[in-house]
Amino acid sequence: MADIIRLLPDHVANQIAAGEVVQRPASVVKELLENAIDAGSTEIKLIVKNGGKTLIQVVDNGTGMSETDVRLSFERHATSKIQKAEDLFNLSTKGFRGEALASIAAIAHVETMTKMAGQEVGVHLKIEGSKVVMQEVAVVPKGTSMLVKNLFFNIPARRNFLKSDQVEFRHITDEFHRVALAHPNIAFQFHNNGGELYNLPPADFKKRIVHIFGRKTADKLVPITEDTQVLKLGGYVVKPEFAKKSRGEQFFFANHRFIKSPYLHHAVLGAFDGLLRQGVHPGYFINLEVDPASIDINIHPTKTEVKFDDEHTLYAILKSAVKHSLGQFNIAPVLDFDADRNLDTPYDQQNKAAPFPRVEVDRAFNPFQEKAAPGNRPGAYQKAPTTGWEELYGGAGAKRSLPSVDQVSFETEVVNSSIFDGNAEAPQEQGTTFQLKKKYVVTTIKSGMVIINQSRAHQRVLYERFLGNMTLQGAVSQQLLFPLCLSFTPSEIKILIEIRESLTAVGFIFDDIQKETVEIKGVPVLVSESEVQMVMEQLIADFQMEIPGNSFSQGDMLAKTLAKALSVKTGETLDEASQTNLVNDLFACKEPALSPFNKAIYVTLTENDIERKFI
């Protein structure tokens, strides 16, 4: 039998490696930004077009590379960070695997311009699909400029799996936030499709958070700090009253590197125990500094999943530090054993009996005397005259004729025709519904009974109602007495501007949209003023992950999000009238069987099904 195992060509091996390192455009942004930081840059600029599919460019003012280093940097397993195997357990830099640039060059058009300090000219290099197309001397500024164009141009199948430009841009923005927060001492700029989105000057950690997430974020932060032999902890947590339904503002940094750790996240949740509303998540920005030898960051190609030597100790320190900060700043209730000395009894008043108050009573006051006696005060009560009291009851004894029963007309009850189609049956009579486990509404039909999921049913009713309002432009808004001012991040404001037309069709009326704030002067009738913040956050969270391209699908997603946010939830009690109205509204819908998210709304139990249970 002939030999069947053979070595793969280099360009094929690079494409396979690219599948691990480069999952989407955000992966390229992460690798290029980390390389710029390792180069000692103080200013980094990120330029993106079409969600990173067309162009990703990172420009820095770092040390630059020589002509030889430029060529070697695109070879597999070529790095300046590691000399021996022991270096893997004492890392203080970002890019160390030596696969990123080789993987990127295998599936994109890469153009590099770099120059080292002290040299007169630099190097201009072009690579397409791992093949060097051009290399020449060029006059460029100090530092490095990396351009990645036409990502996955030679792997159409991978390109087809990419999401829309807005979704990919959201992932790029997340990576930018993680890198910028981890290095507040570096100036960052972010340009998207020709417009400047962020311009972050060097600052401390708190100012960097405020520059990214808005000015009002400063009032929401509670500082935490702890310094031990095992761990140096610092950062901020968001006050419980500002917790959101989405998990966006949750950042762990280990040795200035963003990490994901469900174990440490559970420690923060434990510190917030009893302080959060149901269904919301705390926000935090926490820096962890540990011994590089006690952390393994090479267990995953993305280098976001890490392994600590002593996770139990870190868990305990983190939980106690967050809990102490919440109590120290009067966020959580604590026992205060240090009483205020200003509230104590003065020294000269100690051991003295309290004097009884003296109350003076006018014993000569009589409210029932007809006129004030001489010597009494002029405001004494005088009895009103009682003459002519008989006229108040005039005609009380007269007989009144009552109309006969034949002369009384009664309003007839209006009976509406059936609103149900042939596939669904209406309840037999009023008063035949009841609620089961605060989750289901049970009603009778001609052939048996129907069990309805109240939350899904209400979602279907609201979904079709919102779609109808957007289609017919017939939404009714309720004006607010005072405009409601909400604060958002610049990226969230960008999303609200994109869906503003659809929100207006639903019933929202915007007074002004600025860089970080939104003023709303009108809301839909179904939305209360207290729910506006929650609804907006839910809308932004959904659209950040899946923003459709055309207006119809955008309106469809908006209707789904509003229906989900405003629908009756499991655990809410419905009275009999609400149950009946929900049943009638559901079967008046065009698609009463499925919720907007394609889940079954009700099940039918026929009389035969019930009889089989007793056989």
Highest mean pLDDT among 104-108, 243-247, 360-364: 104-108
**CA dist., res. 242 & res. 221, Å (int):** 10
pLDDT band at 88 (very low <50, low <70, confident <90, very high): low
* pLDDT value of residue 564: 86
pLDDT in tens, 7-63: 877 767 766 666 567 888 999 999 899 889 988 899 999 999 999 999 999 999 999
**CA dist., res. 158 & res. 461, Å (int):** 39
* pLDDT value of residue 549: 45
**CA dist., res. 260 & res. 294, Å (int):** 17
- Residue range 304-317: mean pLDDT, rounded: 85
How long, in residues, is the chain? 615
Please say whether the beta carbons of 231 and 290 come within 8 A.
yes
pLDDT in tens, 510-554: 888 887 888 888 888 878 888 888 888 888 877 776 644 444 567
The chain-wide mean pLDDT, for the chain, equals 80
**CA dist., res. 550 & res. 528, Å (int):** 29
* pLDDT value of residue 337: 58
Is it the case that residue 205 has pLDDT exceeding 90?
yes
Please say whether the beta carbons of 512 and 519 come within 8 A.
yes
Is it the case that residue 212 has pLDDT exceeding 60?
yes
- Residue range 398-427: mean pLDDT, rounded: 51
> What's the gap between Cα 294 and its chain centre?
33
- Residue range 326-349: mean pLDDT, rounded: 66
**Among 217, 204, 247, 240, which residue's Cα sits nearest to residue 325?**
240
Residue 473 tokens, joined: 């432009």
For 505, 523, 539, 551, 594, the CA distances from 470, given in Å and listed in that order, are 5, 14, 16, 11, 21
- Residue range 144-167: mean pLDDT, rounded: 87
**Does 522 or 384 have the greater pLDDT score?**
522
Q: Count CA atoms within 13 Å of residue 314 on its CB side.
A: 24
**CA dist., res. 454 & res. 439, Å (int):** 6
Burial of 51 (C-beta count, 10 Å sphere; 0-12/13-18/19+): buried
* pLDDT value of residue 386: 66
* pLDDT value of residue 332: 63
Is it the case that residue 123 has pLDDT exceeding 80?
yes
Burial of 378 (C-beta count, 10 Å sphere; 0-12/13-18/19+): exposed
Is it the case that residue 350 has pLDDT exceeding 50?
yes
By mean pLDDT, which of 408-412, 414-418, 592-596 is the weakest?
A: 414-418
Q: Which contacts of 274-282 are long-range, i.e. CB under 8 A and separated by 24 or more positions?
A: 274/332, 275/240, 275/326, 275/331, 275/332, 276/240, 276/243, 277/243, 279/245, 280/243, 280/244, 280/245, 281/243, 281/244, 281/245, 281/246, 281/247, 281/250, 282/237, 282/238, 282/240, 282/243, 282/250
- Residue range 106-134: mean pLDDT, rounded: 90
* pLDDT value of residue 7: 80
For 114, 494, 506, 596, the CA distances from 521, given in Å and listed in that order, are 53, 19, 14, 29
Is it the case that residue 148 has pLDDT exceeding 90?
yes
- Residue range 410-435: mean pLDDT, rounded: 53
What domains can be seen in the chain, in order of their start residue?
Answer: 10-200 (3.30.565.10), 205-328 (3.30.230.10), 433-604 (3.30.1370.100)
Highest mean pLDDT among 89-93, 255-259, 405-409: 255-259
pTM over 0.95, yes/no: no
Is it the case that residue 436 has pLDDT exceeding 80?
yes
**Does 275 or 247 have the greater pLDDT score?**
275
* pLDDT value of residue 291: 86
* pLDDT value of residue 402: 57
Residue 50 tokens, joined: 């079409």
- Beta bridge partners of residue 131, listed in sequence order: 128
pLDDT band at 382 (very low <50, low <70, confident <90, very high): low
What is the residue type of 456? R
**Does 250 or 551 have the greater pLDDT score?**
250
| Degrees to nearest 5, angle at CA 220 with 214 and 225 | 110
Highest mean pLDDT among 184-193, 401-410, 563-572: 184-193
* pLDDT value of residue 172: 93
Is it the case that residue 420 has pLDDT exceeding 50?
no
* pLDDT value of residue 570: 85
For a pLDDT cut of 70, what percent of the chain falls above it? 78
Provide the 3-class DSSP secondary structure of residue 407.
helix
Highest mean pLDDT among 143-152, 413-422, 430-439: 143-152
**CA dist., res. 535 & res. 274, Å (int):** 24
pLDDT in tens, 464-490: 888 887 777 666 778 888 888 888 887
Question: H-helix or E-strand containing 180?
Answer: helix 165-182
* pLDDT value of residue 127: 92
Pairing, β 187-192 against β 232-238: unpaired
- Beta bridge partners of residue 43, listed in sequence order: 187
* pLDDT value of residue 557: 81
* pLDDT value of residue 179: 94
* pLDDT value of residue 90: 61
Cβ density class 451-478: b for 16+ within 10 Å, e for less: ebbbbbbbbbbbbbbbbebbeeeebebe
Is it the case that residue 65 has pLDDT exceeding 70?
yes
